[in-house]
Amino acid sequence: MNNQRIVLVSRPVAEPSTANFRLEEVPLEALADGHVRIKNHYLSLDPYMRGRMSDAKNYAVPQAPNETMIGGTVGEVVESKNPKIAVGALVVGMGGWQQYSTATGNGDIRVVDTKQVPLSAYLGTVGMPGMTAWYGLMKLCEPKAGETVCVDAASGAVGSVVGQLAKLHGCRAVGIAGGADKCAYVVNELGFDACIDYKAHRDVASFDAALKAAAPAGIDCHFENVGGMIMDGVLNNMNAFGRVAMCGMISGYSGVPIPLTNPSVILRSRLKVQGFIVSEHMQFWPDGLAVLGGLVGSGKLKFRESIADGLASAPQAFLDLLIGKNFGKQLVKLA
């Protein structure tokens, strides 16, 4: 039996393209003792993968060329040589961009329960993106009831959770998203107090005015996924002693770095700006995932998915994600 997988064939110089990837078919190897084989149902596409495609100094090991692209997956155990994990178990792990993956079951996969939470949500709201939102907001921003929390990429897998958690903590939630449809979803479905369509505010003055209207008492906490002009504008509207969780800078992932126009605002407003990677804070995951799973199960935390069909569609879906064409958590349906 064969396995289909996608490997990185070349590192992008600026914008990545589908030519950086290759879909290939390889024979399934025999399963080693103690291991399990997983048929992956969904692959998660996430902005961090862009960083791994580069070999510039980074916080993670670069993706090796001609190896299966890394990525989070959920699937079903179809063969087991590990007595602790039965065939039929549903698991979440880092299976990569492929139909079948193997795992030791020794910390590299987690068996999940789909009674309250749909399987795919373990790649989103009850998975790494949800934990990213939970950790950055609760542990770095530490919002207090009555404060204003801002988040960009607000309709996405991370941003949607940030704003909903902020609301659940008694804060005003202001989203920033690209397009009227995303903004309508953020306000009407997710319950944010306001959402700014940055595509309708291309110049600094217009975006600034929109921020002031959406956050009349100023911004106390900001969860940064985008960078560039959005970050410039938000920082200028932050209140004294504001906290910024820096999670992503997707606007600068391809090509030259985008500067921060006026870093002295960090001093002037006595801000704390802190970068983080949620996988370095695993001690918080059990608590955080329990909270997130409970909120999804009880319907208090909503989410939306963009599902590309079939492994072959992954490269284009990933490129679309980098420019915000997705709407909600981007997945690829594999089986």
Considering the rule CB under 8 A, would residue 246 count as an interface residue with a copy of itself? yes
> Alpha-carbon distance 52 to 70, whole Å?
9
Considering the rule CB under 8 A, would residue 276 count as an interface residue with a copy of itself? yes
Q: Are 69 and 49 in contact (CB under 8 A)?
A: yes
Considering the rule CB under 8 A, would residue 10 count as an interface residue with a copy of itself? no
> Alpha-carbon distance 90 to 115, whole Å?
11
Considering the rule CB under 8 A, would residue 202 count as an interface residue with a copy of itself? no
Using CB under 8 A, which of 67, 262, 323, 335 touches a copy of itself?
262
φ, ψ for residue 23, nearest 5 deg:
-90, 130
Considering the rule CB under 8 A, would residue 33 count as an interface residue with a copy of itself? no
Residues contacting a copy of itself: total by CB under 8 A? 33
> Alpha-carbon distance 158 to 223, whole Å?
10
Considering the rule CB under 8 A, would residue 205 count as an interface residue with a copy of itself? no
Residues in contact with 187: Cβ distance below 8 Å, sequence separation at least 6, in sequence order: 175, 193, 194, 195
- Residue whose C-alpha is closest to residue 43's, from 25, 20, 68: 68
266 CB burial (10 A radius; 0-12, 13-18, 19+)? middle
> Alpha-carbon distance 330 to 279, whole Å?
19
Considering the rule CB under 8 A, would residue 248 count as an interface residue with a copy of itself? yes
Considering the rule CB under 8 A, would residue 249 count as an interface residue with a copy of itself? yes
Considering the rule CB under 8 A, would residue 274 count as an interface residue with a copy of itself? yes
Using CB under 8 A, which of 205, 264, 286, 299 touches a copy of itself?
264
Considering the rule CB under 8 A, would residue 216 count as an interface residue with a copy of itself? no
Considering the rule CB under 8 A, would residue 226 count as an interface residue with a copy of itself? no
Distances (CA, A) of 58 to 145, 235, 277, 283: 36, 25, 12, 23
Task: Provide the minimum distance between the beta carbon of 51 and a copy of itself in the complex, in angstroms, as a whole number.
Answer: 8
Q: Which stretch binds a copy of itself (CB under 8 A): 7-15, 262-270, 282-290, 292-300?
A: 262-270
Considering the rule CB under 8 A, would residue 217 count as an interface residue with a copy of itself? no
How many other C-beta atoms are found inside a 10 Å radius of the C-beta of residue 257? 10
Binding mask 42-71 for a copy of itself (x = CB under 8 A): ---------x-----xxx------------
Contact positions toward a copy of itself, by CB under 8 A?
51, 57-59, 227, 231, 240, 246-249, 252, 257-264, 266-277, 280
